[in-house]
Homo-oligomer: A and B are copies of this chain.
Amino acid sequence: MINVGIIGVGTVGSSVALILEQNSEIIAARAGMKIIAKRGVVKDLTKTNKDVTIPISTNIDDILDDPEIDVVVELMGGIELPFEVVKKALQKGKAVVTANKAMLAYYRYELQNIAGDIPLGFEASVAGGIPIIKALKDGLSANHIESMWGIMNGTCNYILTKMMNEGVDYLTVLEEAKELGYAEADPTFDVGGFDAAHKLLIMASIAYGIDAKPEDILIEGIERITLDDIEFAKDFDYNIKLLAIANKKDEGVELRVHPAFIKKDEMIAKIDGVMNGISVLGDKVGETLYYGAGAGGDATASAVISDIIDIARNGKSSPMLGFKKPLEGALELLSQDDIYTKYYIRIKVVDRAGVLAKIAGVFGDFKISIESLMQKPPLSDDFAMLLLSTDYAKESDMRRALKEIASLDVVTNEPYMIRIEE
């Protein structure tokens, strides 16, 4: 028998307690033993889910100091406090299962070191119910991972799908998403790409052993995407998705989160609404893709409990971050300047003869070729919108070109750029 203590009995924590009860028989059969939610701890007793019948208190030590509790499930939210709590639990020899991606984005290596052979499960921290962590750690373990492309934020994918399929503008869909509970009152963490970045960092640790923090990687959100961008994408058979991308090259690995144009017949482009999906390219297996609900109480709890069952079966840790032994010549994080891709650019210009020549001239100076161009009819008497796509270019060249274009007297706003991933 395994006793579980749940720290943070909110949406996911309540689901963990309830599923351990509702599916107890099949879980016991699969684990080889009973798994019991023994107690929970919350900050505010008045907000607990009435269906949850386990004893609940407000003192974390009720769980940490209980010698009968074998596994601590950490679902508190935040970064520093849960880090301290998980550290204490591990130091007391208790296995830990966490869904806390923000904590892991900063402290996963520290925690791995503290854990040693004590199990530390985090399947639920990436893409909710999709078993992508197990796929990377176990299923694809014979492969060098060449690249990973993930749609790992349901809020962004919901908004972009609506913009794409129904032609509704960003702010309108965002309001609707808030009403439906798909977006937070302050949506920055989701629409700004930070949530996806945390998940990408965890995946990159398993695939490459890279020790980077959110500050180290390129993160751009979807806030500036307009229906002009959507229209251009449609005209050229692209879909726009917020992608978390890991891209292995000879010298290291690119990690980046940003909106991207992807060809609409790619499997990953077909993932719509709040669903998540991750495409992984292994050097031997080729492309595999994993799709499912990336959030929600029950889906996330499914992942939490799968880790507890793993612990029950094996009684010891599988390598937390993918490698049991350090990899000789571990890979480096590449500079953002070295990104090499195609670009889509939107530029608001004064509607006057010779404007295009000036802009094309700047791109020419940086040896960036324009592939296609669309000029929207003048927005008013004075302004027009120029939409264009380029051939492959180096990110640093593109940034310098756009800076120069922004400074032209015929350009009225900072140009907006979306990378094209083919």
Contacts and interface: CB of A to CB of B under 8 A. Distances in A.
B140 A302 contact: yes
Interface centre among A29, A285, A302, A309 (most CB of B within 10 A): A285
A44 interface: no
B134 A139 contact: yes
A150 B14 CA distance: 32
A400 interface: no
Nearest to A270: B270
Contacts of A313: 318-319, 324
A301 interface: yes
Interface string A294-331: 00101101111110011001100011001111111000
A107 interface: no
B286 A325 contact: no
Nearest to A26: B144
B27 A142 contact: yes
A143 B302 contact: yes
Interface centre among A31, A283, A290 (most CB of B within 10 A): A290
A309 B29 contact: no
B293 A291 contact: no
Contacts of A142: 19, 23, 27, 301-302, 304-306, 309
A141 interface: yes
A290 B290 CA distance: 5
Interface stretch (A45-53, A123-131, A219-227, A404-412): A123-131
Given A134-B134, A286-B129, A291-B289, A27 B141 contact: yes
Given A27-B142, A305-B141, A290 B293 contact: no
Given A27-B141, A306-B140, A299 B324 contact: no
A138 interface: yes
Contacts of A302: 140, 142-143, 282, 284-285
Contact of A284 (B31, B267, B270, B299): B299
A327 B141 CA distance: 31
A287 interface: yes
A172 interface: no
Given A284-B298, A284-B301, A314-B318, A141 B306 contact: yes
Interface in A102-137: 123, 129-131, 134-135, 137
A28 interface: yes
A204 B271 CA distance: 27
A79 to B, nearest CB: 27
Contact of A288 (B19, B32, B131, B309): B131
Contacts of A298: 284-286
Given A30-B141, A129-B288, 5 more contacts: A29-B323, A130-B288, A138-B309, A139-B303, A142-B309
Interface of A: 15, 19, 23, 25-32, 123, 129-131, 134-135, 137-144, 267, 270-271, 282-293, 296, 298-299, 301-306, 309-310, 313-314, 318-319, 322-328
12 contacts: A19-B284, A29-B324, A131-B139, A134-B138, A140-B302, A141-B309, A142-B306, A267-B270, A285-B298, A288-B293, A289-B292, A313-B318
The 8 closest A-B CB pairs, nearest first, are A131-B139, A32-B324, A288-B292, A142-B305, A129-B285, A285-B302, A289-B291, A29-B327
